[in-house]
Structures are given as structure tokens and as C-alpha cells.
Amino acid sequence: MKKTNIKKIAISTGGGDAPGLNAVIRAVVISALQRGWECVGIRHGYNGLMIPEEYPDGDGLLTLTRKSVSGITHLGGTILGTTNKGNPLKYPTKGRDGKMCEKDRTEELVAAFRKHNIDALVAIGGDGSLGIANILSEKGICTIGVPKTIDNDLDKTVITFGFDTAVSFATECMDRLHSTAEAHRRVMVVEVMGRYAGWIALNSGISTSADVILIPEIPYDVNKAAEVINKREKSGRHYTMIVVAEGAKPRGGSVSVMSKEIGRAEKLGGIAEKVAKELESITGKECRTVVLGHLLRGGRPTTFDRLISLRFGAAAVRALEQGKTGVMVALDPPTVRYVPLKQATNRMKTVPLDCDTILTARDLGISFGD
Ligand code: F6P
């Protein structure tokens, strides 16, 4: 086993927050302190290092002690703060012409790591943040990634932390919507996050006996969804539950984009409204929409998410101790293992069309609008 010379490590949380972030931070800090290492947290992704002038009193880098991580396992959000606008590879910068453009500022970031004598980094993030982590490791920063995202779209790990909490909460919301939809004889169209992957919609939709699930992996025909509503009407079931992933798109059409800004990923949203309007005009039934949005990201992590977050955090520190770099901690039940960050961020993990969950939904008579 390689010996490590680590004395000081940094932790960064980047991209959209996910329940379990604080549990990872706690596990990393306690495990690192036990090895005699110093621990700092970088505020808001890498902003604490890249724009220190915005953090008065040197607040861009927080010293993390045993006390800083006390009682945080069950808390949503992240004690370090996060951002999805601070990608050092595409940092929003004012150009000479006064217009905003994207600039690669990774060299500055590497220099900041050196300046603060940071020997290693635990980067907690989704595909964007772990892509950055991979570049940092290639540039010589000893880096371990931890897979976070409610979307569950990271490859090479069975699951990301945050996903279970998001699905559980979506399930609870849909149970509640189910009863009111039935009472009012309405069609309820529920939009859930997930970006270009349908994991949240699929898992929560099946778990709540939705009638139609629309996911990005299966472009839909709205007439097929309308058929489901009409068929149910005829058989005396006067309400219909439809779950739509924010990244779902009609056959031959494109995703619903709310906005696109320099230095960040496009914002998806609006698909439930579109689907509901179309269904209302085809079927004549009252169609109502609910967008669960950021509710899926907030709140307390489930027991499952707490546990994998703590396991991921401790495993990240063990990896550093073993001299590993450029790898991500991955869940491979019953254990955790390490996979190259490059592999994990190479492709997005979408729902395989032949997976047993899709087959189960079809066997249960759930329509994908195809
Ligand atoms: O990646 C997590 C996620 O919650 C996606 O499901 C969603 O599309 C996106 O982040 C929303 O990000 P924002 O916080 O910028 O609205």
C-alpha cells in the first residue's frame, strides 16, 4: 500500500444540492481528523478559492473541526454552500467587449490549492463537478470524487446519494395528489426533476401506481397518453395520474427549456404545463399540474441516503490514505469500490429501455406514451 504524506485536505460541494451532502462532509472530516489531517471546506463549489475577495475575513475557506460537523448528518443542504454557476472550466467572465463569456480558470484554481498548502481534495458532486475534479486530478491535485445527485445519472455507481430521498418525497407527494385527483375526477400531471434521465419519474411513478410515466429515454406521443385517460373514463375511473420527467420530450420534438445562461447548464422546466394543455384539448378533461422542482432536493436525507453518504465519505478518506487519486467512490453492493473519475463522467447513466423496472411498469399496464 502506498504511503501518504497528506497533512491538509479540502472538501468541496458543487452543483445542485442533494440530501446527504452534510453526512458526507461529516464522515470525511471525522475520518480525516482521526488520521491527524487538517480539514478545510471550500465555500460554494470552488468560489471560496477563486473569488476570495467576495468572502470577507478569509471566509472562503472554512476550517472544519469536530465541532463544525457535529449534529449535521440529518440536515439537508450543505454547510459549505454550493453553486452551479462556478464551473472553473467555464467561469462566467466579463470579456473585453463588456459581454459575458466563459473562461477556463483551472490554472488559477490549482495555484490557489498550492498557495493554501492543500494536499488533497474530496470533491462531492454530480457529473459537472466530478468532470472538474477529474481535470484537477490530471493537473496534479490529488482528488477523490463522491457521487452526488438526486438525478441518479452518474455512471459506474449503482446509485448516487440524494436519489433515494428525492424518490421517497416524490412518492409521498404523489400519494397525496392521487387522492385529490380521484376526489375531483381530474387528470394530475406531476413534473419531477432529473435532467435528461428518467430515474426519479420512473421509480416514483411505479411506486405510486401512476397511469402514465413520461421519461426522456422514451419520447412520447401525447395521443397515447390521451388514450389512457379516455380508456379509464370508459371503465369508470374518472381520474388519471401522470408523472413527467422535466427532460421528457415528444416524439420528434425537443426538451422544454426555461432558460440558458453563460457558465451554467440549461434550465429545464415547463413540460407538465405543455402536456396538460394538450391533454385537456384532446380529452376535454380538466388537467392540473404540480411541479415538485426543488422540493425534491431539500429536507432530511432518508436513512438509506445518510448511510451511503457516510460510507462514501469514509471511503473517500481511506482512498486518500491509500494514495489513490483521480477516482470516484462507487456503490457496488454489498461494498463500495473505486472507479476512475474519467470513466464515471464519460457518459450519462440514463434508464436502459430493457431494464426490469421498465419491464415491470409495462407488465403493470403503465403507459410510457409510446
Ligand atoms: O442536477 C440536479 C438538479 O436538481 C436537476 O434535477 C435539475 O434540472 C437542476 O438540478 C436544477 O438546478 P437549479 O438549482 O439550477 O434550478
- Which is the catalytic residue, given 17, 151, 211, 305? 151
Evaluate the CA torsion angle 83, 89, 95, 99 in order and state its sign: negative
| Pairing relationship of beta strands 257-259 and 267-268 according to DSSP bridges | antiparallel
pLDDT for the residue 260: 84
- Which pLDDT belongs to residue 96? 83
Contact 193, 293 (CB under 8 A): yes
Residues 228-285: tens digit of each pLDDT? 999 999 999 999 999 999 999 999 999 999 988 777 789 999 999 999 999 999 999 9
Distance 268 CA to ligand 1 centre (A): 8
The pTM assigned to this predicted structure is: 0.96
- Domains and their CATH numbers in the chain: 8-161+301-344 (3.40.50.450), 165-297 (3.40.50.460)
Is 151 among the residues known to form the active site?
yes
Give the Cα separation of 88 and 34 in Å (integer): 31
pLDDT at 98: 87
Q: Are the CB atoms for 292 and 191 separated by under 8 Å?
A: yes
> What letter represents residue 43's amino acid?
R
Quote the crossing angle between the two packed helices 303-321 and 163-184, to the nearest 10°: 160
For residue 62, the surrounding DSSP H or E stretch is strand 61-63
Say if CB 220 and CB 369 are below 8 A apart: yes
SS3 letters across 207-231: HCCCCEEECCCCCECHHHHHHHHHH
Give the separation between CA 79 and CA 66, rounded to whole angstroms.
14
> Where is average pLDDT lowest: 78-92, 270-284, 335-349?
78-92
Candidate from 21, 87, 267, 295 with most ligand 1 atoms within 8 A of CB, to mutate = 267
For residue range 352-367, list pLDDT tens digits in order.
999 999 999 999 999 9
Instruction: Tell whether omega for the bond before 334 is within 30 degrees of 0, i.e. cis.
Output: yes
Residue with CA closest to ligand 1 atom 10: 16
303: closest CA among 168, 172, 115?
168
Strand ranges (DSSP E) for 246-363? 257-259, 267-268, 287-291, 327-332, 335-340
**What is the pLDDT of the chain when averaged over all its residues?**
96
